[in-house]
Amino acid sequence: MIDLHSHTFFSDGALIPSEHLRRVEMLGYEAIAITDHADSSNLEFLIHNLRRAADDLNPLSPTRLIVGVELTHVPPDLIAPLTLQARELGAEIVVAHGETPVEPVIPGTNLAAIEAKVDILAHPGFISEKEVALAAKNNVMLELSGRKGHSLTNGHVAKLAIAADALLAVNADAHSPGDFLTKEMAEKVALGAGLSKQRYQQLRQDMQQLVNAL
């Protein structure tokens, strides 16, 4: 199991990084990215402290802790410079908080994130065909979310991504211990969104390839 979108108490999650990692160790995870909510006010704080946690914990854990951030509710014009800054500060994964139908995300966020070439566009809601095509071109993964509310448009995202041969990821967007996906539940999220088992296996390989490249 790999999950590339989760949160600790550094933003709105419940756990410190060590317990967060331990919980997914027990579920047999190979890797998990901690991607706490970020804007210009806390970007450096998050990356610096998660880097410290990863340096301490990774030599002692069978599960790899990946240092990331989720750019959240920032104006679209700030997404590209913050993506660049996050990478310069040492973020291994940059997630953008997409235009989920259950939050008042600024229109244009999806496009700005794809143009900025973030790694993952989380819960992109009613993303357009044009945006999905650009995501495929820019190798931006589109998320199928395991989180209540955000998951409402998984079927829409999956349908367009399949047609455009865009990269997909299944993530829990975990904020507390009960949110982590088991291997079986992750597969249900994918198949429930309309993916075939073969396409789900491709999704898992794509996520693995991204992690291997970090």
Taken in order of first residue, the domains within the chain and their CATH numbers are: 2-213 (3.20.20.140)
pLDDT at position 174, please?
A: 98
- Contact 20/32 with Cβ under 8 angstroms? yes
- Residues in the chain with pLDDT < 70? none
Q: Cα(200)–Cα(81) distance, rounded to whole angstroms? A: 33
pLDDT at position 111, please?
A: 98
pLDDT at position 75, please?
A: 98
Residues with Cβ within 8 Å of 76's Cβ and at least 6 positions away in sequence, in order, are 106, 108, 109, 111, 112
pLDDT at position 186, please?
A: 98
Residues with Cβ within 8 Å of 196's Cβ and at least 6 positions away in sequence, in order, are none
Q: Which residue carries 């999704």 as its tokens? A: 203
pLDDT at position 129, please?
A: 98
Residue percentage of the chain with pLDDT more than 70: 100
pLDDT at position 159, please?
A: 98
Q: Which residue carries 């079927």 as its tokens? A: 155
pLDDT at position 117, please?
A: 98
pLDDT at position 128, please?
A: 98
0.95 surpassed by pTM: yes
pLDDT at position 11, please?
A: 95
Q: At what angle do helices 183-192 and 197-213 cross, to 10 degrees?
A: 120
> Could you tell me the CA-to-CA distances from 140 to 40, 70, 165 in Å, in that order?
22, 14, 11
pLDDT at position 24, please?
A: 98
Predicted confidence (pLDDT) per residue in 200-214, tens digit: 999 999 999 999 999
pLDDT at position 69, please?
A: 98
Secondary structure of the chain in HEC code, one letter for each residue: CEECCECCCCCCCCCCHHHHHHHHHCCCCCEEEEEEEECCCCHHHHHHHHHHHHHHHHHHCCCEEEEEEEECCCCHHHHHHHHHHHHHHCCCEEEEECCCCCCCCCCCHHHHHHHCCCCEEECCCCCCHHHHHHHHHHCCEEEEECCCCHHHHHHHHHHHHHHHCCCEEEECCECCHHHCCCHHHHHHHHHHCCCCHHHHHHHHHHHHHHHHHC
pLDDT at position 114, please?
A: 99
pLDDT at position 4, please?
A: 98
pLDDT at position 179, please?
A: 97
